[in-house]
Structure 1
């Protein structure tokens, strides 16, 4: 186990992330223009979607049905477990829901780093796992909003306070359409689903066109993005520290718990060693794109320094350095 973790730490992906982290801690003037960081993020979303769609074209519905059920199960159960843990920690409802949505959703960059890890280990995985990424992006956001609605229904609220929640319409019992729109057509989900559909539609015919940019250069672009994420994570660390030790423990304990659950589910639905590892990575990761974007509009009272600072400042580097090889080792044991 220690050898695998050390190999992962000494990989270019992790070292570039650490370089960005050190630069932020030392308050270097190293910085990425906002537009460049946005462009790198969009590139990764398109690349993963395209590759997933092209690979998915090789599989029948019978091949992917059970793994999809497993992914949807994880997207539903993880927010519920997160809410239970955070409420046990005496966290207020809205910040607890913020963490439930964040940890129930997934990190596309952690997934990309896990793919690089598996390729370095010469471990294959099911091509449809890229499609699983898309399926695990949004369910947790819906589930978290429903959980908040259920929690609020247990308390006597005035009409004014109900409106202030930001996601329950005073005139209906349904989730605000703005939340549904953000979850379904936000840029991350839209690009993933759209790119996946294009790759699925074209199949192998797309490879000559997309290979030079979205396949051959993927690893190099990922290094640049991880350098950018290292800078961002380093800037978020002080925000996490000021919220206490319990949150720091949660930021490292939650990915281990959920990642182990993901590995178990991956094994039960019949995935290979690589696929089981990736299922664990997805379950153990936390969103800092789709979920925070939805929370900003649906639960504005939730503190971004908690759900975003924790996912990006603690869980993301933990997974990048230690989580991925741990999930891989767990998958090996189950195999």
Structure 2
């Protein structure tokens, strides 16, 4: 098996994502049509906000993974399209709710829905999309797939509440933070990939492998985002860099810097994250402390470790274009750091 590290040395991010884009292109066209149809409503504001989100870009990685996972397990039918659309609706609803909770102004280089239509409309349209997601799940007729995705929806909500409780408090530990992103981010990746073998009629071993692949990929993806917030570009991140710092989010680079800092540095982090002293000068100092204590490098190492776990899980699949596409997604997630 070719390792993640050796793959990353040869590839650029776009090269790694191309296989899954090609593999899923035909089915994703159907997913997009279904998304537009299911986002329709006689209430004019609902399709208006939905169109804003759909046109805002994003690679739609999660639904593509649902398609790839189904194809990797030999599925031959139409249910993966509805499940992929359900996954995307769940993700989009989470983004709408996230932006309200975080008071975010920009996402993927565009104004967030909450800044245009307000918080109330954003939350309610998010709820509508979740309802449509569950409607499509029911239409698929698989109780196991419904159980997986509905459980993920509850776990994601728990993660959001947990993150809200952990925000702006430097008592958050690394274990706390990994648990938060396991729920908030990794749960949907895991569910998106596990439903593939379910609708293909495969057993627990295949489900467990895809569950592990998605979870590890989701954790790696989030940790890379954490690094990009302090050392990347808005284009790579999909939102403004430095937003986590300004919103008082306790991410792994912050936790590592705080734990390795002296008393003066700890006091800085408390002022910045707990008391809101987070202007541009404070952000610059935060980056200096992260560099001093190798906090970004430590976070990258954790991301690569989870990436290796995801790579091993996907490598257990029979050789096929879908398997290669899923391996490429692992590389892509890590190579966004380049």
Please classify the TM superposition score into its range, dividing by the shorter chain length. 0.3 to 0.5
TM-score, L = length of structure 2: 0.32
Task: Compute the TM-score of the two structures, normalised by the length of structure 1.
Answer: 0.32
The structure whose RCO (Cα within 8 Å, separation 6+) is larger is 1
